[in-house]
Amino acid sequence: MASSLLFLLISLLFIQSSGDLQQHNEEGHISVMISDKGLDFAKDLLIDKAIASIVMSQLPEIEKSVQVPLVGKAKVVLSEITIKDIQINSSTVETGDSGIVVVVSGATANLNMNWRYSCSSWLVPIGISDSGTATVKVKDLEVGLTVNLRNQGGTLKLILLDYGCNVGDISIKLNGGAAWLYQVLVDAFEGNIASSVEDAISKKIREGISTLDNLLQSLPQTISIDQTAVLNVSFVDNPVLSNSSIEVEINGLFIGTNKVLVPRSSLNGLETSTSCGGSPKMIKISIHEDVFNSASSVYFTADSMQWILDELPDQNLLNTAEWRFIVPQLFKQYPNDDMNLNISVSSAPVIQVTNQDIKATINLDIIIDVLESGQVIPVACISVDISASFAAEIIGNNVTGKLKLIKFSTNLKWSKIGKLHMQLIQSLTSSVLKTVIIPYLNSQLKRGIELPILDGFAVCNARIAYAQPWIEVCSDVSFSGDSYLMLLPASVS
């Protein structure tokens, strides 16, 4: 009944992040911890889903012959026994070395059924028969389930360790029929009805675990992002089950599309902090700075960090006439010609998570191109070293944010137009950085890194903390509907 819980617990860990394994000595790392508050949320949500998978289930027909005083031998058949609804009194979920234990106790279930009987005796040689309906209330229903999760080649194996269902008491209300029949139903069929309910729920548990395990095994270990990168979403090591949480590690590095996925061990000696501070949250997602650096490495190696700048807020700056006083030789050699700026990152940007924010070091080469008679003529190259900070924030289900320029320096790398006045170039570069390059980078960063939340779920009341070298997102989760839940055991007949 509560087997659906496990799929959410796994799915919540499914994160979009990746890495170029060939470029790193250690794997990148993303840790996801579901707290007891998160487990309770998942339990309540998915018990409701599990109940929906049982309601309207039809139990097998029950037939029995009973000896009735003064009436004789009666053949009684109970058919179309249907579970109409289930109410939960209390439920718990606990984790520990033995696995994940879900217990539902004090539940009640209401059943509808049809009955019919026929009997004959020497007193009634022609035989008598009758039929009607009945309602059954199952009381003190208890369901228990223990499962465990193991890493199996980068995916998770769901193992059913123990399960059971027990019916405490049954009451039957007969509609129609002879007076003696009620007592016959209570005495002769109470145990059969209880066993049928217990068997039906136990069967749902087995079917649900099998379905969930198949779904887990079918989850991809990589997801294509674009032509440059794929996501390595394979699990690392076995989940850690404490007495108040579940924690898993995901590879989390960006991988170039031309690289081969090679399993490696998890990061050694690195531990995330246990709390973001403040009130408890359902989940905590910790992202190591290596995740950002692996993305930087992959896209730099693929030459994806370069672009041509041919529009500026002050478009006159892209004409040699505007440079006649800054670089006279440029205007002299190429009078009144249009220009563009060929901007490329000269080395992979370095990302560092501190205890206060995220720092980025970006090295750019800006090549000044003159456009003359259909030709592109490089005339000078300026190197720019940028230091910036990144203020992370949560937008939707993404970790995003904005770069803020801290400082930069410029140097002339080479020139075909003589010596440049770098003080003037510095001023011009500052304008380009603040009005074009930083806003452009921020527009790209808006896409962010997607948090491990299924469609239909959303983070809420999220809080970001920094614990070098991790960025931590602590959040509650809200639910509005989800396609993955359509695959859960409600569809199992």
Mean pLDDT score, 284-296: 89
pLDDT of residue 369: 95
User: Among 28-42, 116-130, 314-328, which is the least confidently predicted range?
Assistant: 116-130
pLDDT of residue 276: 65
Q: What is the pLDDT of residues 380-393, one digit of tens each?
A: 999 999 999 988 88
pLDDT of residue 339: 93
Q: What is the pLDDT of residues 206-243, one digit of tens each?
A: 888 888 788 778 877 877 777 888 878 788 888 888 88
Residue that wins the pLDDT comparison between 330 and 397: 330
pLDDT band at 375 (very low <50, low <70, confident <90, very high): very high
pLDDT at 305 over 90: no
Q: What is the pLDDT of residues 424-436, one digit of tens each?
A: 888 888 888 888 8
pLDDT band at 17 (very low <50, low <70, confident <90, very high): very low
SS3 per residue for the chain: CCCHHHHHHHHCCCCCCECCHHHCCCCCCEEEEEEHHHHHHHHHHHHHHHHHHHCCCEECCEEEEEEECCCEEEEEEEEEEEEEEEECCEEEEEEECCEEEEEEEEEEEEEEEEEEEEEECCCCCCCEEEEEEEEEEEEEEEEEEEEEEEEECCEEEEEEEEEEEECCEEEEEEECCCHHHHHHHHHHHHHHHHHHHHHHHHHHHHHHHHHHHHHHHHCCCEEECCCCEEEECCEEEEEEECCCEEEEEECCEEEECCCCCCCCCCCCCCCCCCCCCCCCCCEEEEEEHHHHHHHHHHHHHCCCCEEEECCCCCHHHHEHHHHCCCCHHHHHHCCCCEEEEEEEECCCCEEEECCCCEEEEEEEEEEEEEEECCEEEEEEEEEEEEEEEEEEEEECCEEEEEEEEEEEEEEEEEECCCCCCHHHHHHHHHHHHHHHHHHHHHHHHCCCEECCCCCCEEEEEEEEEEECCEEEEEEEEEECCCCHHHHCHHHCC
pLDDT of residue 142: 93
What is the phi/psi pair of residue 266, to 5°?
-75, 170
pLDDT at 43 over 80: yes
Q: What is the pLDDT of residues 392-428, one digit of tens each?
A: 888 888 888 888 999 999 999 999 998 888 888 888 8
**Residues 67, 80: Cα–Cα separation, whole Å:** 24
Q: Which of 339, 337, 431, 340 is nearest to 384 (CA)?
A: 431
pLDDT of residue 452: 64
pLDDT of residue 323: 84
Residue that wins the pLDDT comparison between 99 and 313: 99
List 309's β-bridge partners, or say none. Answer: 341
pLDDT at 120 over 80: no
What is the phi/psi pair of residue 205, to 5°?
-60, -50
Could you give all domains of the chain from N- to C-terminal order, each with its CATH number?
A: 4-220+469-491 (3.15.10.10), 222-455+461-467 (3.15.20.10)
User: Among 103-112, 163-172, 266-275, 445-454, which is the least confidently predicted range?
Assistant: 266-275
pLDDT band at 489 (very low <50, low <70, confident <90, very high): very low
